Structure 1
Amino acid sequence: MMKSKMKYHVITIGKIKEAYLTAGMDEFLKRLRPYGQVEITVLPEEKMPDKPSAADKKRILDIEGEKLLRHVREGSFLFVLDVQGTLISSEAMAEKFSELAVYGCSELSFIIGGPFGLSDTIRRRADLRISFGRITLTHQMIRLLLLEQIYRAIKIGRHEPYHL
């Protein structure tokens, strides 16, 4: 019996501007190909006023949140990257991936908010809110780190060596 490959869908806001991040992402996308289909959906940032009020920020986050959630497919398990989420190790991520596969989940979605963060709607919709640490990283940098951690979790789950 052929085991079907997992699908990984990263849904995010804003283009990557730095060449070194793009190069790193391309490298991990190449490494991930043998293990499953990886799709990255990049949505445009909403325009934030120069001196936004709290209401302006909430409104923009709500608009971005609705746009992001529209791309989460039915039946996909939703991880939301949130600095206030559960701190997760690479090993715990590998365990979660394996557990979801055993229960028949064939697609994992990951939402990374834009530069202003996440809406409460996204936080509530998450199946699991995860954090790679309490440090603040740019939404662009976290995209590279997420791809690296997906790759690492797959290698751990398959008991394969991880070499860079």
Structure 2
Amino acid sequence: MRIRLITVGKLKEKYLRQACQEYLKRLQSYAKVDVVELTEASPALSTEQQVTDEEKRMLAAISPDSHVIALAISGEMMSSPQLAEYLQQQTTYGQSHFTCLVGGSYGLSSQVLKHANLQLSFSRLTFPHQLFRVMLLEQLYRSCKINRGEQYHK
């Protein structure tokens, strides 16, 4: 399995970088994972221009053979076992490359959302995208553990 995270912005805080590195290390046993950090659009641009600028770069970074999961507050909510089952079903049907999209401050554009195979929401709450990256990596790791029948999920 290959997983690509395409995110807007870099992790600034050391503790968040360390947490991400820990989950990336844990995921190595289950998947080849890479993280693509896109630079944030210039704050001098309007909100619409920022989203459009990030949209172009995000769409260009998606592999055509990838199953795209866009993280969006308005997306479908799943439990951890449901997410694990979803990933397992996709793998069963021959999909082995997943791309997870995490937008910047203003979220993902409608074009990016249309490109996604799944729009997924972790909550109706808003989270800082830097913290959310840690949460996403943890849930991917949890899904892999669940799918292998290993102890972790409670």
Normalised TM-score (structure 2): 0.96
Mind listing any 5+ residue stretches in structure 1 that lack a counterpart? 1-5
2:47 to 50, 57, 75: 57
Is the 8 Å Cα contact of residues 94 and 154 (structure 1) preserved in structure 2?
yes
Q: Indicate the residue corresponding to 1:146 in structure 2.
A: 136
Q: Indicate the residue corresponding to 2:95 in structure 1.
A: 105
The Cα of 1:103 is off from its aligned counterpart by 0.8
- State how 1:41-52 maps to structure 2 within 5 Å: 41-49=36-44
Is the 8 Å Cα contact of residues 12 and 42 (structure 1) preserved in structure 2?
yes
- Distance in 2 between residues matched to 1:147 and 1:34, nearest whole Å: 14
Is the 8 Å Cα contact of residues 62 and 121 (structure 1) preserved in structure 2?
no
CA RMSD for the aligned pairs? 1.1
Are 1:94 and 2:89 matched, yes or no?
Answer: no
Are 1:32 and 2:22 matched, yes or no?
Answer: no
Q: For residue 37 of structure 2, give the secondary structure of its aligned residue in structure 1.
A: strand
The Cα of 1:69 is off from its aligned counterpart by 1.2
Amino acid at match of 2:122: F
- Distance in 1 between residues matched to 2:58 and 2:132, nearest whole Å: 16
Which entry has the higher C-alpha Rg, 1 or 2? Answer: 1
Amino acid at match of 1:77: H
Q: Indicate the residue corresponding to 1:15 in structure 2.
A: 10
The Cα of 1:88 is off from its aligned counterpart by 1.5
Segments of 4+ moved more than 4 angstroms = none
The Cα of 1:66 is off from its aligned counterpart by 1.3
Mind listing any 5+ residue stretches in structure 2 that lack a counterpart? none
The count of residues paired between Structure 1 and Structure 2 equals 153
The Cα of 1:62 is off from its aligned counterpart by 1.1
Amino acid at match of 2:30: Y
